[in-house]
Amino acid sequence: MNNMPKGALTGMKVIDLSRVLAGPFCTQILGDHGAEIIKVEPPAGDETRTWGPFGPEGSAYYSGINRNKRHAAIDFSRQEGRDLLLRLLEGADVLIHNFKAGTLERWGLGYDDVLAGKFPRLIYCQITGFGEDGPLGGLPGYDSVIQAIAGNMSVNGSPDSGPLRVGMSIVDIGTGMNALAAILMAALERERSGRGQKLDVCLYDCALAYLHPHAAGYLQTGAEPVRSGNQHPSIAPYEEFATRTGPMFLGAGNNGQFVAVCKFLGCSELSADPRFTTNALRVQHREELHELLQDVLAERDADQLATDLLRSGIPASAIKDVPSVLAAPHTHHRNMILEQGNYRALGIPIKMSRTPGSLRSTPKPLGTDTRDICRAAGLSDAEIDRMVADRTVLEAPSHPQN
């Protein structure tokens, strides 16, 4: 471990008060790239510790987004717990949380009133459902509810299926990515100004940002979006087809690709058909084109055909399930599965040549590092023992007592 190259964010200290997905996903990426992440949970723990399925490392949900962190448990409902947070923030670069808007203010730890003055270099990242104010300000946000209220469900699915939730927690994950970008932008700006700032990142805004090109089309032309299933609203062919061995996706994003795919499939007459000579015409005659291509593809092998098409520069793939993707040779070639002992999780997608990300520690039981973190904050063992006894802080049961 000591021989590992330093990550790009080595030296950054992050106090992570977030739970569930958006915040922990963000801080795991920071930790993968070298930042010191102190994850502080309430004594009951991050609720995802109780979410199945469960493996040797406990909750797969929790362990998948909480590596490369130190784990403490502090009760902020107690004044002594809040005082301890202030001590942890001394020398910290970032505080991230996803409490409801106003929670830290009620605890006497608001950014504007307290933290900005005490810690002028602190980058304070607040993740909420809808922001602090406005008609929905301060209300709780949950991924699927945000997908519904922000219009994401309305454009997902087919005309027959009705609105559908996207199968991943895409709003939470995307919000975590936006929080990551915001933190890094603020850190870069701080190099010039010497000052931190407050970052307001909410699920609602991020979900609205996913509505491209649907929102742009409506705002600029008045065209109301419709559900198009696995078809692209602006491109054809760019959709699912049935083959002898299962479904595949074929996309021809421009005229050159369409000519190439027709030649490859032995149906060049389609690229010369007046109905299909431009993308606008192909979209206009999408259903006729789909039926003609479906006849050509029906008896083909999806995997082999898609591989051959890709190697010819034509976007295509068999529609794969999660187990087959995780077992795929390219997944492993890209180091997108991390393994250490019983820990197995998705790998690090950001590859850097000089300062690569790395797995330095796996997720730990609640409170594993509480004592060491309290010591680093200047507390004596006697003070820590008293705080453990009155449950202001919590240690993992197996953690040695001094």
Residue 31 shares a structural domain with residue 162: yes
Residue 5 predicted with pLDDT over 80: no
Residues 60-70, mean pLDDT to the nearest whole number: 97
Confirm whether 222 is domain-assigned: no
Q: What is the mean pLDDT of the chain?
A: 95
- Residue 202's Cβ-count burial label (10 Å; 0-12, 13-18, 19+) is buried
Would you say residue 153 lies in a domain?
Answer: yes
Residue 288 pLDDT greater than 70, yes or no: yes
Domain that holds residue 135: 13-210+336-394
Is the same domain home to 167 and 313? no
Say if residue 323 is preceded by a cis peptide, omega within 30 of 0.
Answer: no
pLDDT single digits (tens) 315-372: 999 999 999 999 999 999 999 999 999 999 999 999 999 999 999 999 999 999 999 9
| Domain finish residue from 319, 351, 385 | 319
pLDDT of residue 255: 94
Integer-rounded Cα radius of gyration of the chain:
25
Separation of alpha carbons 254 and 219, rounded Å? 25
Q: To the nearest 10°, report the CA torsion of 280, 285, 290, 295.
A: -120
**Residues 260, 134 share a domain:** no
- Provide the token pair at 114: 């307290």
Residue matched to tokens 């009760």: 75
What's the rounded Cα separation, in Å, for the pair 152 and 209?
10
With cut-offs at 50, 70 and 90, classify the pLDDT of residue 6: confident
- Say which CATH number the domain at 270 has: 3.30.1540.10
Marked catalytic residue, from 71, 232, 285, 333 = 232
Per-residue pLDDT tens for 99-153?
Answer: 998 999 999 999 999 999 999 999 999 999 999 999 999 999 999 999 999 999 9
| Percent of the chain's residues with pLDDT above 90 | 94
Per-residue model confidence (pLDDT) at position 278: 96
CA torsion through residues 108, 111, 116, 121, sign: positive
- Reply yes or no on whether the pLDDT at 2 is more than 70: no
> What local confidence, expressed as pLDDT, does residue 124 receive?
98
- The mean pLDDT of 297-309, rounded to a whole number, is 96
Q: Are residues 309 and 368 in the same domain?
A: no
Among residues 319, 346, 362, the one where a domain terminates is 319
Catalytic site includes residue 232: yes
Domain count, the chain: 2
Whether 6 maps to a domain, the answer reads no
Q: What's the pLDDT tens digit per position in 23-52? A: 999 999 999 999 999 999 999 999 999 999
pLDDT of residue 4: 67
Same domain, 104 and 52: yes
Residue for token pair 């793939």? 317
Q: What CATH number is attached to the domain comprising 192?
A: 3.40.50.10540
pLDDT average, residue stretch 244-264: 95
Domain assignment of residue 48, yes or no: yes
Characterize the bridge pairing of strands 337-340 and 343-346. Answer: antiparallel
Q: Which residues pair with 126 in a beta bridge?
A: 97, 200
In a domain, residue 271? The reply is yes
221 in any annotated domain:
no
Do residues 57 and 192 share a domain? yes
Instruction: State mean pLDDT over 60-67.
Output: 97
Cis bond upstream, residue 163 (ω within 30): no
User: What pLDDT score does 399 carry?
Assistant: 44
Q: Are residues 117 and 262 in the same domain?
A: no
**Are residue 348 and residue 270 in the same domain, yes or no?**
no
Could you tell me which of 2, 62, 76 has the C-alpha nearest to residue 28? 62
Do 25 and 64 fall into the same domain?
yes
Instruction: Give the end of a domain, one of 292, 319, 346.
Output: 319
Q: What is the pLDDT of residue 398?
A: 57
Residue 401 lies in a domain: no
- Same domain flag for 115 and 259: no
Same domain, 284 and 350: no
Same domain, 387 and 315: no
Residue 324 lies in a domain: no
- Say if residue 301 is exposed, middle or buried (CB neighbours under 10 Å; 0-12, 13-18, 19+): middle
344's CB contacts (< 8 A; 6+ apart) are: 55, 337, 338
Q: Which residues are CB-contacts of 355 (< 8 A; sequence separation ≥ 6)?
A: 5, 6, 7, 8, 10, 33, 34
| pLDDT for residue 400 | 41
